[in-house]
Structure 1
Amino acid sequence: MGHMYRPSKTLFLIIILLLESCLTEKENKTNYSGEIVSVWNKKVIDFAIAEDGLFTLKGVRTTSMMHVAMHDALNAIVPKYSHYAYKEGGADANPMAAVAQAAYEVAVNEFPDQKKELDGMLDYWLSMVREGGSKNQGIRIGKASATAILKMRNNDTWNEQSEYMWHPMAPGVYAEFNEHSGTPEGFIFGAGWSKAKPFLLKSSDHFRSPPPPEINSDSYTQAFNEVKEVGATLSSTRTQDQTHFAMWWKEFIEISLNRLAGDLVQKEQIDLWTATRSFALLNMTIYDAYVCVFDNKFYYNHWRPYTAIRWAANDGNPDTVPDTTWNTLHNHTYPFPSYPSAHGTGSGSGMTVLAKTLGFDDDYSFIMTVPEVESSGPMSDKVKMDPPQRSFKSFSEAGLEGAMSRLYLGIHFRYDSEEGNKLGVKIGEYACQNFLKPLE
C-alpha cells in the first residue's frame, strides 16, 4: 500500500507565511494616513491667500480640483468610492505616489509661480515611496487624474464678470454705502460668482431660497429691531460670548473648515481614502455654496441692516425707528446684497459634509481653532482671538453658530442667517447623496 503524502511542517509554515504576505500586501494598499491631504490643502490655501486674499473663487476652485484629482487617483487603484472625472484602473500603482503627483499637477497648473516650492513638496512625498514599477504607475495615474479634472473644468467661467444694474433707493433694496464698505464708488462684489459653473449642483439657481419678509411685516420689524440692538457697535444686550463668536467666525469658511478637517483627520487618524473623499466633497460643496448663494443674493437684491436702520424713516414701516449714526460691531458692511447669508450657507454646507463623510455622524463633539481675524473689513489689522478655540457638540451646532455670528456682527438680519444655513444644509446633503458615493 502506497504512502499518503504529508507536507512537512516547514512547508506548512511557508504556505502560512505566503498567505499572510498576500493579505498584508492587500491590506497595506489602503493602510495609508490621510495627513498628506491636509498638507497639500493648507499649502494651496496659503498660496491663494497670498495671491488674492481669497476674494475670488480661485482658491477654493483649486482645492476642489486638487482633492478630486487625489480622490479619483486613489479610487482608480482600489475602488472604494465612485469617481468624479477619472476612472481608469491601476491596481498595481502606489497610492502615495498617485495622490502626491495628482495634487502637484493641479497646484502647479493653477499657481505656476510657486513651482519651486511645489517641486520640493512633490520630491519629499515621492522620496518616501520605494523606487519601482508601482511608484511609476502611481505617478502616471496621478498625472492622468489631474489632467482629467483640469480638462473638465476648463472654461468653467469661475472668474466671469457680470454687470450689476443699480436701483433707485427704495425700501428693502440693496444700496451702496461705499464709505462704510471701504470700496470705490459704484463697486459691488461677487456679481459674477453666480455665473461660475458649479461642481455638483446642476446650475447656480439649483436651490432658490424663499423670499425675505416684506418690509412692512411684523417678522421684518422683529428682525430689524433685533439686529439694531444686538449687532450695534456698543450693544448693551449682546453677551460677551456672542461678541466673541461674532468676531471668531469672521475667518473665511474655506480656511476655517479646511483647517478643522485637517485637525480631525490627524486626531482621529483618518485613512487616506476617507480623507481624500471628505476634502473633495467639502471643497466642491463650499465652492457651489458660494455660487448658489450669490445667485440668490442678486436675485433678491435685499438691503443690509446698515442701510435699513439708517434709512428707516423712508421704509414705509411705522414700527421701525431710524438711527442715522448706527454702526455694526466691527464698523464695516460688505458691498453686496444681504439675503441669504453667504457665511451661513458656507458653514451649513461644509459642516453637513464633514458630518456625513468622516464616519462620526452629526453628533460628534470637537474643538475648532481660529487664531486671528481681521478687526474690521478686508485687509484691516488682525486681532488675536482670546480664546482661539470654541467647542461644539455637533457639526450642525457649529454650522448654525457660523450663520448666526453674522447677526451679532451686525451685518445680517436673523432671516438672512437662518435661511443661509438652511440653503447650505440642502447643498451639503445633495452633494453627499449624489457624488463620490461608497461602492457596494
Structure 2
Amino acid sequence: MRKIVLALVLGLAGAGLSAPAAAAGPRLDSVRVWNELAVAAVRATRATDADAARTYAMLNVAVYDAVNGLAGPARAPALVPGPGPRGADPQAAAVAAAHTVLVRLDPDRTAGYDTQLQADLAALRPGHRRDAGVRWGREVAQRVVTSRADDGSAPVQSQPAGSGPGVFRAEWSGTQYRAVRPFAVTDPARYIPGPPPALAGLDYAAAFAEAALLGDAAIPAPDKLATFRFWSLPSGTGQPPGEWVKIALTVSHGLPLPTSARLMALLTMTLADTTIPTVGTKFTYRHWRPATAIHEAETDGNPSTRPDPDWAPRAGSAGGTPEYPSGHSSYSGAAAAVLAGFFCTDHRSFTHTTDTAPGGQARTYPSFSAAAAEAGRSRVYGGQHFEFSNQAGLAIGRDLAAEVLATRLLKRTGPTHHGSCPL
C-alpha cells in the first residue's frame, strides 16, 4: 500500500498537480478556450497539417511564456524569457497573449477574438494587476510572432512530379517545411530515418500484400473503413495535430494554469517540430503510394508482387504527398509520447471524437499509445500507406518527443520533470 501511495504522489507531482494555482480570483479555462479557437481557425482557413501545427505551437508558446514569466520564472522559457512585471495577473497575460497570436495569424476572425478577449478580461478583477498582465501577454506574443516571421514556413515550395518505379508521381507543395526553424529540438534532420524497404525485397512484398488486401475498396470491411474515416482528418478539419490538441485538453482538465500551459507548449512544440523530419523524409525518398505501386507492380522488380490495374484505395484517393513516412503516424507518435511523459504514465483512459468520426461516434482508448497505434494503422486500412511507413512515422514522433521532454521547459533549480517521474 505504501508503494502505491508513493507512486500516486510522484505521478501527481510530476504532472504538476501538487502545485497551487498561481493566480487568485476567478478561474478561467483560458488554455482550453483559446486552443479551441485555434482549432476552429485551422478548420476555417483549411490549413495544412504543417501550418496547423505551427499555429498551435505559436499560440501555446506565447501563453506559456506569458504565464511562466510571471512565476519567477520557475522554469526555462520556450522562447521569451521573463521576468514580467511584478504582481501582474497570469490569467490576463495568458488571454492577451493568445488573442494577439490568433489575430495576427487569422485576421479575418478578429471580431470573434476581440469578443472572447473582452469576456475573459471581464471575468477578472479590474485594476493594475489585470492591466499589467494584458500588457505583458501582448509583449510576449508580439515577440513570438516576430520571431517566427522568418522561420522558413513561407514562401510555399514544391517538389516536382517524379517518374519510374518506386517514385511518387505528382507534384506536391509544402516542402519548405523540411528546413523550417524548429521550436524545440536542436537538429530535426537527425530524426530522418533510413530508406523504405527495397522494392525487390521480401519486406516490401509483405507490406505490399497487406496494403493491397486491407486497403482494397472492393473488399467490404465496415470496421476498417470506419477506423480510417475516424482518423482521416483532411483539409477543413483541425488536422491530425489538432486532434491531439483536443485529446490533451480532455486529459488535462482541471490542471492549474501554469501546468496546463506547460503541457500544451510541450505538446505543440513537439508536433510542430515533428513536421520537419516528416516532410524531410518524404522529400528525400519520394516513395510511391500503394495505388501506384499496385497498378504498376510489374515494374518493381519483385517476383512476389502482382499488378492490379483496377485496384482502388479504401480511402477513395491515393494521397497527395509521398508515402514514406505516414504523417498521421508521426504526429500521433509524437503526441502520445509527450502526453505519456508528462503524466508519467501511458495508461490513461480517455474518450475522444474526431472531426471526421462517422456519425460523430466517440471512441474510448486505454492509453495514449493505443490511440496513436490506431491512428497510424488507419492509414493502412485506407490504402494510403504501407505498414513500414506507419512504423517509421511513429518512431520519428516518439524519438523527437523524447528530446523535447528531456531538454525543454525544465525547472531552473531542484527536481525536474524528465525520465523516471519525477527526477
TM-score normalised by the chain length of structure 1? 0.83
Contact 2:21 2:257 in 1 (8 A): no
- 2:344 & 2:227 partners in 1: Cα distance? 24
The match for 1:298 is 283
The match for 1:180 is none
Deviation at 1:312, TM superposition (A): 0.5
- 2:214 & 2:106 partners in 1: Cα distance? 42
- Once the two structures are superposed, residues 364-407 of structure 1 have per-residue CA deviations (whole angstroms, 9 ceiling, x without a partner) of 1111212x52xxxxxxxxxx514622221111121122111101
The match for 1:46 is 40
What is the correspondence of 1:2-81 to structure 2 with a 5 Å cutoff? 29-30=22-23, 35-51=29-45, 53-55=46-48, 57-78=50-71, 79-81=73-75
- Once the two structures are superposed, residues 47-74 of structure 1 have per-residue CA deviations (whole angstroms, 9 ceiling, x without a partner) of 23212x1226433322211111111111
- 1:62 & 1:423 partners in 2: Cα distance? 21
The match for 1:117 is 112
The match for 1:281 is 266
Contact 1:404 1:418 in 2 (8 A): no
Structure 2: which amino acid aligns with 1:105? T
Structure 1: which amino acid aligns with 2:249? G
What is the correspondence of 1:12-411 to structure 2 with a 5 Å cutoff? 29-30=22-23, 35-51=29-45, 53-55=46-48, 57-78=50-71, 79-89=73-83, 90-169=85-164, 171-176=165-170, 187-235=171-219, 238=221, 240-251=222-233, 252-266=239-253, 269-357=254-342, 359=343, 361-370=345-354, 372-373=355-356, 385-386=358-359, 388-411=361-384
- 1:298 & 1:28 partners in 2: Cα distance? 45
The match for 2:11 is none
TM-score normalised by the chain length of structure 2? 0.86
Q: Secondary structure at the match of 2:159?
A: coil
The match for 1:23 is none
Structure 2: which amino acid aligns with 1:402? A
The root-mean-square deviation of aligned C-alpha atoms, in Å, is 2.0
Structure 1: which amino acid aligns with 2:44? A
Deviation at 1:27, TM superposition (A): 5.0
Q: Secondary structure at the match of 1:216?
A: coil
Q: 1:147/1:64 Cα in 2 relative to 1: closer, same or farther (>3 Å)?
A: same
Structure 2: which amino acid aligns with 1:339? Y
Contact 2:227 2:378 in 1 (8 A): yes
Q: Secondary structure at the match of 1:205?
A: helix
Q: Secondary structure at the match of 1:367?
A: strand
Contact 2:225 2:381 in 1 (8 A): yes
Q: Secondary structure at the match of 2:191?
A: coil
1:414 to 376, 382, 387: 387
Contact 2:353 2:361 in 1 (8 A): yes
Deviation at 1:229, TM superposition (A): 0.4
Q: 1:429/1:33 Cα in 2 relative to 1: closer, same or farther (>3 Å)?
A: farther
State the percentage of identical aligned residues: 28
Q: 1:34/1:71 Cα in 2 relative to 1: closer, same or farther (>3 Å)?
A: farther
- 1:143 & 1:411 partners in 2: Cα distance? 43
- 2:304 & 2:51 partners in 1: Cα distance? 44
- 1:396 & 1:80 partners in 2: Cα distance? 30
Contact 2:252 2:260 in 1 (8 A): yes
Which sits farther off after the overlay, 246-255 or 225-234?
Answer: 246-255
Contact 1:349 1:427 in 2 (8 A): yes
Aligned residues: 387
Contact 1:281 1:353 in 2 (8 A): yes
- 1:434 & 1:77 partners in 2: Cα distance? 21
- Once the two structures are superposed, residues 323-369 of structure 1 have per-residue CA deviations (whole angstroms, 9 ceiling, x without a partner) of 00001112101122100111100111111112222x35212111121
Deviation at 1:225, TM superposition (A): 0.5
- 1:360 & 1:128 partners in 2: Cα distance? 34
- Once the two structures are superposed, residues 395-429 of structure 1 have per-residue CA deviations (whole angstroms, 9 ceiling, x without a partner) of 11211221111011110001010111111111111
Unaligned runs of 5+ in 2: 1-18, 234-238, 415-423
Q: Secondary structure at the match of 2:198?
A: coil
- 1:139 & 1:360 partners in 2: Cα distance? 33
